[in-house]
Structure 1
Amino acid sequence: MLVSNFLFGAIATATLGYGRSMPSSPCPPPLVYLFTVYATESPLVIIGNGGHGSRLFIPITGGTVTGPKLQGKVLGLGGDWGSYDTANKTFAPNAQIVVETNDGANILITGHGKSPYINYEFETGSESYWWLNQAIGVGIIQVGEASLTADIFQVLQCKA
């Protein structure tokens, strides 16, 4: 018992930082604005309720990306396989789009969450945008008539 308590304490200190004094309140991570996606959509396809809410598919047909960290166009290669919870009136996006930057890089953007708040992950083989592979994004979407707008921010490490 003494050995297991010692090992747990050593592992917790080494991996979780429990050896540090605890702050009086946590430091909120700062956000940095990356870009805004303006996407066009085709009419949605209703798949129906298969046990996860009312499943639907929204084809993404194009659009643009503008912002301080990224500029380009949305390729018509993606869509949103989201579900709508009719009881709570919430939409849970499950979207993937491909952005082609103005300098020729391709970036896969994946978004999940509960509308209007979305979590984003990025994937690219481009050296210029490699930093996005480690980035976590958060954003807010606004749905329009046959379009959506997503303001996307990068979550940075807190510097307490």
Structure 2
Amino acid sequence: MTTDARIKTVETIRTAALFDIVVDLSPQLNFGDRGPLGRRVLFGAAGGSFEGPRLRGDVVAGGGDWALFRPDGTMMLDVRVTLRTDDDELVHMTYQGRCVIPPQIQSRMADPTTRHQIDPAQYYFRTNPLFETGSTRYAWLNDVVAIGTGYMVDGGVAYHVEYVL
């Protein structure tokens, strides 16, 4: 085995809880099953809430996920939402990610009335949130990288979000 002298030993990646968030969804808009990149769907954000050790508040209606479904069924996320903190500051949150649904549960996951009943351990749903704000109180968010684990809830989607230390 060859050892490259340029490789350094670095600190193991550690994370800390940022918040848990629930995003209420509007009825989906389907742009068509035969788009040039696959099936594009808008899952509009109708509201919601988030809460964590350093910030909490509401999801502002109007954002959403412009999801793209690949032919293999994997959903590629493209999300933009606005968070309003409990002290009335605005935070722009964007993230991409992947939701990989095994074939044996794809039909159940397609039904918005029952998909929240599926155990999240049966699918892979991960995101990489980034933040932007002009708030001095929350300016620290502008410089963090976060990761999230998603799961379906009745009427929407939820994530447990941690930031990388």
TM-score class, shorter-chain normalisation, is: 0.7 to 0.9
Sequence identity (%):
28
2:76 maps to which of 62, 81, 92: 92
Choose 57-66 or 136-145, whichever is displaced more: 136-145
Question: Where has structure 1 moved over 6 Å in runs of 4 or more?
Answer: none
Structure 1 residue identity aligned to 2:95: G
User: Structure 2 matches for 1:32-43, cutoff 5 A?
Assistant: 32-43=16-27
User: Structure 2 matches for 1:1-160, cutoff 5 A?
Assistant: 18=6, 22-23=8-9, 27-48=11-32, 49-87=34-72, 89-115=73-99, 116-156=125-165
8 Å contact kept, 1:107–1:122: yes
2:115 match: none
CA distance in 1 between counterparts of 2:51 and 2:8 reads 40
Q: Tell me, what secondary structure is at the counterpart of 2:31?
A: strand
Q: Tell me, what secondary structure is at the counterpart of 1:152?
A: strand
CA distance in 2 between counterparts of 1:29 and 1:106 reads 29
CA positional deviation for 1:93: 0.8
CA distance in 2 between counterparts of 1:86 and 1:43 reads 22
TM-score (normalised: structure 2): 0.77
Structure 2 residue identity aligned to 1:150: Y
8 Å contact kept, 1:43–1:146: no
Structure 2 spans left out of the alignment, 5+ residues: 1-5, 100-124
CA distance in 2 between counterparts of 1:143 and 1:86 reads 22
1:12 match: none
Let me know the Cα RMSD of the aligned residues: 1.7
Q: Tell me, what secondary structure is at the counterpart of 1:81?
A: strand
Task: Encode CA deviations 1:49-85: one digit per residue, 9 max, x unaligned.
Answer: 3222211101100011111121000110201101112
CA distance in 2 between counterparts of 1:151 and 1:62 reads 17
Q: Which has the larger radius of gyration?
A: 1
CA positional deviation for 1:144: 3.0
CA distance in 2 between counterparts of 1:69 and 1:52 reads 39
TM-score (normalised: structure 1): 0.79
Structure 2 residue identity aligned to 1:149: A
CA positional deviation for 1:145: 3.8
